[in-house]
Amino acid sequence: MRDRGRNPPELGDPDRVVAEVFGCRPDQVARAVVVSPFVPLAAFRRHVDAVTAELAPRFFYRGFTGAVRGRPVTVIHTGVGPSRVGDCLGFLSLTPARRVVFAGAVGGLGLDHRIGDWFVPTAVADGEGYARYVREPFPDLVAAAPRLDGLPGRSGLEGRFLAARGLAVRDGPLFTIGSIAFESRGNLLALRAAGYRAVEMELSALYAAAGHHGLDVAALTYVSDLPLESSLWQPRCEDETAALKAAYRALPELAVACAAEGA
C-alpha cells in the first residue's frame, strides 16, 4: 500500500500522465516491472514469450509489457542517472506496478571483487550532485552523504535468487555517485576507506523513490569494472572480457525471471 501522505504534489490525471511518459494506458503496465539504465530493450524481448503492449511515447521512457511463463512483466529503459530512475518510479506509482527489479552494473571496490561477479547492496549512500563535487572536498562529501541502511522492498531476495543459480555473489555498502568524471583514484580510495564496496549511478534514487512511493524493489547488478585497478578506458584482458560479456548477456534473462517470480 502506498503512503499517499508522503507522495509529491499531484502529478495530474494518471491516464494523461502515463500516456505522456510511457505511451500507454496505466492498466497496460504490469504489477511486476524491470527497469534498466543501459540494457537495450531488444535484449529483454528475447526472454519474454509474447509482447502484449508497447510503451512508445514521443519522449520519456520506452519499453514493453510481455508475458514470462504466463505472468505479465513490463520492461522499461530509463537511461543513466539517478533522476531518470527516481522519476520513473514516481510515474510507475500511478500504474498497477508494485514490484520493480533494477537491472544494472556497479564498479567493484572490494579487494576480492572480480569482473562478472554479482553484487547485492546492503546499504546505499546518496552521493548525487555534480555541482557539489566542484565545491566541496570529496572526502567531506562522502562523510556527509545520507545513507540508507534498512533498504526498502525485497532486500535479500537478490542474493537468494542469484545464489540459487550458482552465481558468485558479493555484497556490501554502495555509494551512488553523480559523475563518472569524478571517479578519480583519490576519490575512489576515499570511498573504499569509508567502507564502500561498490560505486554506481542510480541506486540511491531507486531505493529513495521505492520507499517514498511504497514500491517493492530488488537490485540485480554485476561488477562491470574494477576502477581502482584499471579505468573504464583501459582495455581488458581476455578473461575479463569474457566474464563481462557473460554477465551482461545473463542480466536480462535473470531480471525478467526475478520479476516474474514476484508477479
* pTM for the predicted model, two decimal places: 0.91
Q: Provide the domain count of the chain.
A: 1
**Residue 117 sits in a domain of what CATH number?**
3.40.50.1580
Q: Which domain holds residue 247?
A: 4-261
pLDDT given for residue 5 in this prediction = 38
Rounded Cα distance between 46 and 12, Å, is 35
pLDDT given for residue 10 in this prediction = 63
Q: Is 79 helix (H, G, I), strand (E, B) or coil?
A: coil
Angle at 247 between CA 244 and CA 249, to 5 degrees: 105
Largest CA distance in the chain: 53
Low-confidence ranges of the chain (pLDDT < 50): 1-7
The string of pLDDT tens digits covering residues 232-262 is 778 888 998 999 999 999 999 999 999 998 6
Residues in the chain: 263
pLDDT given for residue 242 in this prediction = 94
In the chain, count H helices and then E strands. 9, 10
Contact present, 200 and 176 (Cβ < 8 Å) = yes
Helix, strand, coil % in the chain, rounded to nearest 5: 35, 25, 35
pLDDT given for residue 233 in this prediction = 78
List of E strands, 109-186:
118-127, 147-148, 169-177
